[in-house]
Amino acid sequence: MFGKSVLLKIILLFLLSTPIFAAQRAEVIIDGAMVYKKGDFGAPVLGYLRKGKLVKISNKNYGPFYKVKLRQGVIGYISDIDIRIVSGPGGRKARTAKGRGSRSKSKTRRPRKDARVKTYWGASLAMVNYTDRFKLTLGDDSTETTFSSQTLFLMANRTAPFSFLDGVVNLDINLGISTSTPSIYTDISSQSSGFVLLADASLMMPLHFLRARNFFTYFGAGLMFSHSIIDLYIDDTKLPIGKTRVGASITAGGAYTLGKFLLKFEPKYYFEEERYLGFHFGLQRAF
């Protein structure tokens, strides 16, 4: 009885330690390689892999797919033309990156690359409720008062995959300049001139439950920077009041794809010395 008990434990331990599938190693050769729930290009996408990542795939291919270990406990399917086999079963170095998978390339139509993992350049208009604080003095009394005004900014932007993280994570960078002097300055002086620079860099992630064929939504957070170069004229005296401020921003938005173009709308909330809201309307092109 004792011998049978030990034998059963050894067999159970062996079964539990056996991998889900016999594995070989492969390198992902495109950014944002899609991992599907099934071996079908129309199946739900479980996640994305960055270029250069080494993964474990099955020894056997399933049509134009291999099974792949996405993360602990999650197995999906990856297209054979998104990977390069670097070692076979048992760690043997692969003779060639070609094989049965490469033959299927000519037979299988490659799906369109997900719009969320492309690199885009573009421009946007942003209506920002720009806010600043002033110290007002009346006689011996002084108070700090906050003023806000709707200010239009012209922005240049770039959105690209953030390759240091797996999955659909994009780095979104915006740099803009006000098209005129914010009215909060013109309201408190007889004459004013200048402009405001506004920039932010955010990591963006998709909201998978709000997505359609050519439309997707996302949210993000990051750092922001503003710098004002303003000259006020009070009683014919020039008064420079430029400021540099650093803070954070959070955003959520939606994007609609039209071929290589992307139409975007995103509210963005800025946190620095003051807090204010902006609305961005943008057009970007994939490169």
What's the Cα-to-Cα distance from 168 to each of 13, 84, 121, 143, 171, rounded to whole Å? Answer: 37, 21, 18, 48, 10
Annotated domain spans of the chain = 17-109, 116-286
Q: How confident is the model at residue 111 (pLDDT cuts 50, 70, 90)?
A: low
The reported pLDDT for the residue numbered 190 is 72
Q: Is the pLDDT of residue 248 over 60?
A: yes
116-286 topology per CATH: Porin (2.40.160)
Give the mean model confidence (pLDDT) for residues 203-227: 86
22 vs 231, higher pLDDT: 231
Q: How confident is the model at residue 94 (pLDDT cuts 50, 70, 90)?
A: low
Q: How confident is the model at residue 173 (pLDDT cuts 50, 70, 90)?
A: very high
- What mean pLDDT, rounded, does the chain reach? 81
Q: Is the pLDDT of residue 209 over 60?
A: yes
In 3D space, the residue among 24, 159, 43, 41 whose CA is nearest the CA of residue 99 turns out to be: 24
The reported pLDDT for the residue numbered 267 is 97
The reported pLDDT for the residue numbered 269 is 97
Q: Is the pLDDT of residue 83 over 70?
A: yes
Is residue 269 within 8 Å of 129, Cβ to Cβ? Answer: no
Lowest mean pLDDT among 17-21, 84-88, 266-270: 17-21
Give the mean model confidence (pLDDT) for residues 140-157: 87
Q: Is the pLDDT of residue 98 over 50?
A: no
The reported pLDDT for the residue numbered 141 is 66
Lowest mean pLDDT among 15-24, 68-77, 200-209, 217-226: 15-24
The reported pLDDT for the residue numbered 49 is 85
Look up residue 123 and give its two tokens: 């421009």
Q: Is the pLDDT of residue 120 over 70?
A: yes
Q: Is the pLDDT of residue 104 over 80?
A: no
Q: Is the pLDDT of residue 126 over 90?
A: yes
SS3 letters for the chain?
A: CHHHHHHHHHHHHHHHHCCCCCEEEEEECCCCEEEECCCCCCCCEEEEECCCCEEEEEEEEECCEEEEEEECCEEEEEEHHHEEEEECHHHCECCCCCCHHHHHHHHCCCCCCCHHHCCEEEEEEEEEEEEEEEEEEECCEEEEEEEEEEEEEEEEEEEEECCCCCCCCEEEEEEEEECCCCHHHHCCCCEEEEEEEEEEEEEEEEEEEEECCCEEEEEEEEEEEEEEEEEEEECCEEEECCEEEEEEEEEEEEEEEECCEEEEEEEEEEECCCEEEEEEEEEEEEC
* CB contact set of 252 (below 8 Å; sequence gap of 6+): 207, 217, 218, 219, 220, 266, 267
Give the mean model confidence (pLDDT) for residues 44-56: 85
The Cα–Cα gap between 18 and 39 comes to 23
The reported pLDDT for the residue numbered 216 is 86
Domain at 17-109, CATH from 3.20.20.80, 3.40.50.720, 2.60.40.60, 2.30.30.40 = 2.30.30.40
Percent of the chain scored above 90 by pLDDT?
Answer: 39
Lowest mean pLDDT among 3-17, 147-161, 272-286: 3-17
The reported pLDDT for the residue numbered 151 is 96
Look up residue 79 and give its two tokens: 């297209």
Q: Is the pLDDT of residue 2 over 60?
A: no
Lowest mean pLDDT among 40-49, 51-60, 167-176, 217-226: 40-49
